Chain A
């Protein structure tokens, strides 16, 4: 065995990312790690390659290791060439780096591994996401390692580049290397992996050579698919809550739609087709270059910043809790109260009792932190509870329109279930909901109607509960009729 981990545990703040996890892989195999977001795959890879230390358990890895991290490890201010050759730059006499040769040498490396269309002189910061991913992979491949860890290597890649990577993975395996990778796309796991280890809630639940998608989903979620989404068929959308016309911003191109009260409107499509720009712009955090929106039927005052959006009755729950949602070392109470401070204040002073009551009320309703004091730091909460705390902040605003951007990311199954029902309850109360998830399943299961985005445009609108993710995925990749 080249890679062995036994009984590994690792916590971040209050979140137990790995608990008693075990894993083994041998030379000459491609081994996939499957699991939901937050199941512990990335943490396991980091522990295995030595980037972070395990709190408990033992890890042994034999041979030269190379790792492509999910949050890419390219140095943004260095050029592609410098990034690729950082460990072994070309040297002249006196052992000095020959800066003039760097780019040529890097071009050679890139072409040796069949990566085209990347300028070795360009700073890594200026590359497109897919190019960054390719450079990161070439960096790893060029080390000709015995053990390769690839964390979501295909997330930003197009079909052609995935084929390119698959070829290299097979070549490495055939040469006797041990290739370990994670992927969100089951098709890739099926196609590439010799064995699959499934993770759930920070621990391994099974290692198999053959595994169907249904079995995998059952193992990953610990439940069978289908019964989990609340029934929204009884909720009838009412009057218009949000009208978007010709909105152009960032990647977004002339997007128009209407969102009605009581409606859960899904935004589908492959990753990075402008979904994020849409949500941020609607919330006033992105500048539209054309078009606009009106909330509440009448032309609301211009939404230039989030503060305006909140006043216009719009709420935005972000995906990345740590970057955009929480103030980790501030108290739960500070976090939950933040968007509605002014409502419970007199002459700028916070009405402490009112605030305490409001926060405790919503915390109890959402069952945040199992009755823990709201004076504790938000960072001590588990991932699921952190997300609930962010939701609570926005529920207090009593907004009419909720923009929910990948709110279930990195959340445990039980909390996901709670969040689905929370969303359905909001719709039942007449709130309008715009919903995006990186797991298309959720959009299919939860929404009245789905808009499919492709290259910033709405290419398709699917009506009625869609039910299966395949329909949405098909619409995402199908060429539009008029193209």
Chain B
């Protein structure tokens, strides 16, 4: 395990312990469960963001890929349990498709990742708003099908198992497969990877596609959690996903980092917000402390890098 990941896990632990000391309810399972559930949403989007950051890219289309998937889900699911599989397939498919287009634009057309994904974000925002007529369309008011909402019930909500599954999937993909090796090679030195027979473009396309898929997954889970889709659902997750990735010890230059760190990063960010909220810190204070915490962690990593 690399040192940055160790730091990320340590920071998450410290914040959680601090929360337990400061607010009594925090240490209980219901308190922790709430943090874990909220962190899982960050965890899903950050999984996708991490995958593209690993090859030195970035995905700014996450907010509206997420939102579009959420709305596709509710408008096709119509709140009916038997339509859920179809709705899920369509929502995930929409996310994967958006990611695929991002990947093709970046890898084959040579559009800078910032531009391509920013453009995609705009396109999906316009499509989502336009087609749903600002969420006033006939099917837009439907609730999430019951099975999806049930994911969040129980002592150990199934939603957390979904996160565990996603974590296992990403970790196995990156550490045990030839694809994972190619991802790290591409991120570390794309030219050398290409000259060693790695299909750099193919790898890049696959990663952006996966990122779209994870954003869609986050959208689906958020709909299950909130019961309904809303506009602007994904907006907080753009910068949050990047923050979780870097707090999780992934190098923004690519080639370094793993999902365990990102899980820790997501927990850290959500725990900080939750603790501050429990302490009745007003929103402005939460935002400022949140930023300062990220900055402090970046400085800690920066010092570590100097010793490499």
Q: Do chains A and B touch in the complex (CB under 8 A)?
A: yes
A→B interface (CB under 8 Å): 283, 285, 305-307, 309-310, 316, 318, 323-330, 334, 337-339, 341-342, 345, 348-350, 352, 393
- Output the nearest chain A residue to B199 by Cβ-Cβ distance: A307
Tell me the complex Cα distance, A393–B196, Å: 9
What is the CB-to-nearest-CB distance from A363 to chain B, in angstroms, rounded to a whole number?
17
| B255 and A329 form a contact (CB under 8 A) | yes
B→A interface (CB under 8 Å): 176-179, 181-182, 184-185, 188-189, 191-199, 255-256, 308
| B196 and A338 form a contact (CB under 8 A) | yes
| A327 and B178 form a contact (CB under 8 A) | no
Tell me the complex Cα distance, A316–B198, Å: 14
Partner of A349, one of B177, B197, B308: B177
Known: A329-B256, A330-B184, A334-B185. A348 touches B197 (CB 8 A): no
| A349 and B185 form a contact (CB under 8 A) | no
- Output the nearest chain A residue to B251 by Cβ-Cβ distance: A329
| B178 and A342 form a contact (CB under 8 A) | yes
Known: A338-B181, A341-B181, A349-B176. A306 touches B191 (CB 8 A): no
| A327 and B188 form a contact (CB under 8 A) | yes
| A338 and B193 form a contact (CB under 8 A) | yes
| A306 and B177 form a contact (CB under 8 A) | no
What is the CB-to-nearest-CB distance from B251 to chain A, in angstroms, rounded to a whole number?
9
> Which of chain B's residues have a CB closer than 8 A to the CB of A341?
178, 181-182
Interface of B is mostly: helix
> Which of chain B's residues have a CB closer than 8 A to the CB of A329?
188, 255-256, 308
| A326 and B178 form a contact (CB under 8 A) | no
| B195 and A306 form a contact (CB under 8 A) | yes
Tell me the complex Cα distance, A307–B191, Å: 13
Tell me the complex Cα distance, A345–B178, Å: 7
30 CB contacts below 8 A, A to B, read: A285-B194, A305-B194, A305-B199, A306-B195, A307-B197, A307-B198, A307-B199, A309-B197, A318-B195, A323-B191, A324-B191, A324-B192, A324-B195, A327-B184, A327-B185, A327-B192, A329-B188, A329-B255, A329-B256, A330-B184, A330-B255, A334-B181, A334-B184, A334-B185, A338-B198, A342-B178, A345-B177, A349-B176, A349-B178, A350-B176
- Output the nearest chain B residue to A342 by Cβ-Cβ distance: B178
| B256 and A350 form a contact (CB under 8 A) | no
- Output the nearest chain A residue to B181 by Cβ-Cβ distance: A341
The 6 closest A-B pairs by CB, nearest first: A327-B188, A341-B178, A310-B197, A307-B197, A339-B196, A338-B196
> Which of chain A's residues have a CB closer than 8 A to the CB of B198?
307, 338
Tell me the complex Cα distance, A393–B194, Å: 14
Known: A309-B197, A316-B195, A350-B176; 17 extra A-B contacts, CB below 8 A, are A285-B194, A305-B194, A307-B198, A307-B199, A323-B189, A323-B192, A325-B192, A326-B192, A327-B255, A330-B184, A330-B185, A334-B185, A338-B193, A338-B197, A341-B181, A345-B178, A349-B176
Tell me the complex Cα distance, A310–B199, Å: 12
> Which of chain B's residues have a CB closer than 8 A to the CB of A339?
196-197
Tell me the complex Cα distance, A361–B33, Å: 49
Tell me the complex Cα distance, A350–B178, Å: 6
Tell me the complex Cα distance, A261–B191, Å: 29
> Which of chain B's residues have a CB closer than 8 A to the CB of A328?
188-189
Tell me the complex Cα distance, A325–B188, Å: 11
| B182 and A330 form a contact (CB under 8 A) | no
What is the CB-to-nearest-CB distance from A152 to chain B, in angstroms, rounded to a whole number?
23
What is the CB-to-nearest-CB distance from B300 to chain A, in angstroms, rounded to a whole number?
19
> Which of chain B's residues have a CB closer than 8 A to the CB of A338?
181, 185, 193, 196-198
